[in-house]
Amino acid sequence: MEKNQKKVYIETLGCQMNKSDSERILGILSHFDYEKSEENEADFFIINTCSIRKLSEDKAYSKLGVWGKMKEKRPEIKIAICGCVAQQEKEGLLKKFPYLDLVFGTHNIYELPELIKELEKPVPDGERIRICAIRDKAVEEKEFNIIRSKGINAWLPIMEGCNNFCTYCVVPHTRGRERSREVETILAEARKIISEGYKEITLLGQNVDSFGKDLKPDNNGIKPNFAKLLAELDKLEGNFRIRFTTSYPTDITDDVVETVKNAKKICECFHIPMQSGNDRVLKAMNRRYTRAQYSEIVNKIRTQIKDVTITSDFIAGFPSETEEEFLDTISAIKELGLDYSNTAAYSPRPNTPAGKMVDKFIPNDIKKRRLAELNDTVKKASLASNTQDIGKVYEVLVEKINENDEKNGNARIAEGRSRNNKVVHFKSETAQIGDFINVEIKEALVWCLKGEAVADISNPSTAICKEACAKKEAASLK
Ligand code: SAH
Ligand code: SF4
Ligand code: F3S
């Protein structure tokens, strides 16, 4: 049977939501005898695209170009594009790329079975089936396999879409309006993830705090919300962590902060994009908060939750942004002590109000310079944040083992993350992927921490503990 297996290669650009969609797409295709493969052995090629910036869109087109060349030599291969660029450009893509066989939008994933059947229909010689499937609204989700990527983390979307319409952002146009998944569906998926051995679940949504607003009250008349969902997930049996992203500053409720504070499995980490440190720019971006309000939220979280990490996103060179206004962003990062931030130069996007402010666009060289300054500030902030961790003991969930680390005298180095999402490296002969190990932080670098495993008597199952106990025992016998 092995010979009949068709091979699909999917390349995923963009955010975690796209990564999660790709796992679902692969799962659906597995019902049609498609097996996930590497690029060099595939006969079906899919690019799951991102449209957040022009650069991401261009990446998709350049990949299509490579596959188009391949199709000249192997005309039997099939090429598909999906994701946010597909949703945005629709059938125009079939015209632009003659070698494309299938275009499907972000709302069409659950229709893939029909699309694949159509695509695989036998046709007379010289004819070709080409399909574009785009719809405005999502169809009801159906149950299919999910082929998750291996590792310790599993993505779990709790909602889709966005209602915020920030003036620079394409997401509400490519992902549609907010739709929450049913609480029971999410809990069932979480249980399955844990039973499959994953040690971390990351809840996904463009704005997780909106979760439940569109759902009906349950049988007891209780309306779901994000805090309640977190509390339910925290109650699930098993040794695992829960993370979530993304939070909209003024939508984070006291209940969410309280729940994270009291929960056992929910990690102390909030990703709260600020975008700009200047009130006029924030207004022009249609962000519904001021610098002072953002600051108040950050302070509230910090005073309530010990060792919490707060990360953010910033845009440099939004149309009309003056030098002084840009400097407000720089000062905000420092003043708020943000632990880490993603940064980007503003990129005009189709269908967005800011994309039409052509006369107010900031020249590329200025945007580039502002972005470099922003990155420099983020780097310093990250080092300052990491430096504060020296001496602390963090529980690290091991994600990777480097058997022979050249930079560390060929030692065996374990790498993982603390609950507050700091990358931690430490030497160990025995640590395994998926272990939770207490590590004392000894050194701070810009993007990671270095530490030493500490024996944790309260957690005797960890390999490191066994290692330390064995050493202690050996020493006492001498
Ligand atoms: N839902 C999240 C983020 C979604 S997009 C939120 O509410 O912020 C991820 C990040 O991409 C955004 O936070 C923003 O910083 C950046 N981004 C979005 N549109 C952009 C554009 N047109 N140019 C540059 N960066 C952009
Ligand atoms: Fe885009 Fe704003 Fe929605 Fe985030 S909240 S996805 S930045 S429109
Ligand atoms: Fe990109 Fe779409 Fe995500 S535009 S960031 S892939 S929602």
Report how far Cα 21 is from the mean position of its chain's Cα atoms: 11
Ligand that lies nearest to the alpha carbon of residue 205, given by its number in the listed order? 1
Q: What residues contact residue 221 under an 8 Å CB cut-off, 6+ apart?
A: none
Residue 275 Cβ inside 6 Å of ligand 1? The answer reads: yes
Distance 170 CA to ligand 2 centre (A): 8
What is the position in ligand 3's atom list of the atom closest to the CA of 49? 6
For residues 432 and 446, the answer to whether their CB atoms sit within 8 Å is no
Closest ligand relative to 56 C-alpha: 3
CA distance 473 to 478: 9
What's the rounded Cα separation, in Å, for the pair 225 and 448?
34
> Hey, what amino acid is at 219?
N
Half-sphere exposure of 451 (CA within 13 A, CB side): 28
Tokens of 58: 């261009």
Query: Cα(438)–Cα(455) distance, rounded to whole angstroms?
Result: 7
What is the reported pLDDT for 474? 65
User: Does 246 contact ligand 1 (Cβ within 6 A)?
Assistant: yes
Ligand 2 contacts CB of residue 342 (under 6 A) = no
Residue 301 CB less than 6 A away from ligand 2: no
Ligand 2 and 207: CB distance under 6 A = yes
169 lines ligand 3 (CB under 6 A): no
Residue 408 confidence (pLDDT): 84
**Cβ of 52 less than 6 Å from ligand 1:** yes
**Ligand 3 center to residue 16 CA distance, Å?**
8
Q: Ligand 1: distance of its center to the CA of 106 in Å?
A: 18
349: tokens are 């996007």
168: left (phi over 0), alpha (psi -120 to 50) or beta: alpha
What's the one-letter identity of residue 150?
K
For tokens 């700009």, the residue is 276
Backbone angles phi, psi at 301, to 5 degrees: -65, -45
Instruction: Report mean pLDDT in 10-residue bins for the chain, 478 residues.
Output: 79 97 96 94 97 97 97 95 98 96 96 93 90 92 92 97 97 96 97 97 97 94 96 98 98 98 98 98 98 98 97 98 98 97 98 98 98 98 98 97 89 97 97 97 98 72 58 58
pLDDT at 1: 46
Cβ(274) to ligand 2 under 6 A?
no
122: part of which helix (H) or strand (E)?
none
Report which protein residue has its CA nearest ligand 2's atom 2: 166
Using a cut of 0.85, tell me whether the model's pTM lies above it. Answer: yes
Residues ≥6 apart with Cβ < 8 Å to 220: none
Written as six digits, the tokens of 354 are 């800011």
Ligand 1 atom with least separation from CA of 162 = 1
Write phi, then psi, for 36 (nearest 5 degrees). -65, 135
CA–CA gap between residue 268 and residue 418 (Å, rounded): 9
Q: Which residues contact 378 (CB under 8 A, 6 or more apart)?
A: 314, 333, 340, 341, 343
Closest ligand, as measured to the CA of 276: 1
